[in-house]
Amino acid sequence: MPWLTQLASVARKTGYPVTEVGGWKTRGHGPQQAVQGVVCHHTAGWNDRHIVVNGRPGLDGPLSHFWLQHTGRIWVVAAGRCWHNAPSTSSQHMNSTSIGIEAENDGKTAWPQVQLDAYEALCAELCREFGLPASRVKAHREVNTGKPDPHSINMTTFRGHVAALITHPGTPTRQEEDDVPEVISLGAGEDQDVPASGEMAVSWHTEYADDPPGHSADGVAIMAATARWCIVDGLVKVRGLKPGSEIDVAWSRYDRDGKEFDDNAWRLSFRADVNGRVETSVGGQFALNSKNQLRLRVINPTSSDAVVEKVTMAKISMFKR
């Protein structure tokens, strides 16, 4: 079987957002020899697409054909063979005979419904494309005795939903009215300075959507009227750094008035590329309530002033708790 260059088109049939990782059509450990099954995984971490693409110490990437973000966005990683299941207890689910999907999850956090729905839809479209029954969709733990993933998913129920979608593609397998989130979609709208040895909270000058409304008048804070579980998907672009220097990006919670720092719901370090730029996704999931607020902070410990670019954006989906 040749390189699976149709995978992006297959993923788009799900109706969920799809991003093609640069170079995916020629990425792999040689061509994919056959597709006789699909193996479902969790990544055991967050914001770890780069590991699936590039690998980790002792195991070169790509590690799967897809990385499924917690927001339901499908990232197409590779068209060739991937190191995602070995040793396999099934001849139909070896690296050379199966497609791997790595779903972003730390192995203990509850799965967002939108991610589960996208997971099932992707498996169904892969089955349709390669002529597989839903029974060929397996958890990693079902075809590898040393693995626990994907955690907490009842695969019998999962395969039942996949089978329904194979027969009736595009039909929601489950959707309650209360599952529909409130959505806040924001853009920086203009370049914003981050001083050397300093920090800033991104001010959102552009509102694409503000259902609750939850975007405060000061332009910085995001607020929930009552207890909400938030799933965040966004993009931060920073320029003006020295190549190789590091900055931190954080989703931080403050008290309702914004005067007292509570904690960092999500914070990671990023290294500038050879052009002195950082471009990174800013996903995460965490709780908000009527007593706090959320801000996106950029912390610059370097000796160079930097700029958060105007194309920086974020989408916050708020679910009832």
Give me the amino acid identity at 285: Q
Question: Is 1 part of a structural domain of the chain?
Answer: no
Indicate if 21 and 65 belong to the same structural domain.
yes
Token readout for 305 is 């002033």
- Output the pLDDT for position 4: 97
Question: Is 89 part of a structural domain of the chain?
Answer: yes
Indicate if 159 and 184 belong to the same structural domain.
no
- Output the pLDDT for position 231: 83
Indicate if 112 and 74 belong to the same structural domain.
yes
Domain containing residue 221: CATH number: 2.60.120.40
- 3-state SS, residue 91: coil
| Tally of CB atoms within 10 A around 206 | 12
What are the mean pLDDT values of the chain's consecutive 10-residue runs (321 residues total)? 92 91 95 97 93 94 96 94 96 97 93 92 96 97 95 94 88 50 88 96 87 74 87 91 95 92 90 94 83 94 96 87 62
Which of 167, 190, 216 corresponds to the end of one domain?
Answer: 167
Indicate if 132 and 194 belong to the same structural domain.
no
Range of the domain at 12: 7-167
Question: Is 268 part of a structural domain of the chain?
Answer: yes
Indicate if 198 and 98 belong to the same structural domain.
no
Cα–Cα distance between 96 and 85 in angstroms, integer?
9
- Output the pLDDT for position 178: 45
- Output the pLDDT for position 211: 65
Indicate if 95 and 200 belong to the same structural domain.
no
Indicate if 186 and 84 belong to the same structural domain.
no
Indicate the pTM of the whole model.
0.58
Domain containing residue 61: CATH number: 3.40.80.10
**Please, which contacts does 155-164 make with residues 24 or more away whose CB atoms are closer than 8 Å?**
155/40, 158/40, 158/119, 158/120, 158/123, 159/134, 159/135, 160/134, 161/120, 162/120, 162/123, 162/124, 162/127, 162/134, 162/137, 163/124, 163/133, 163/134
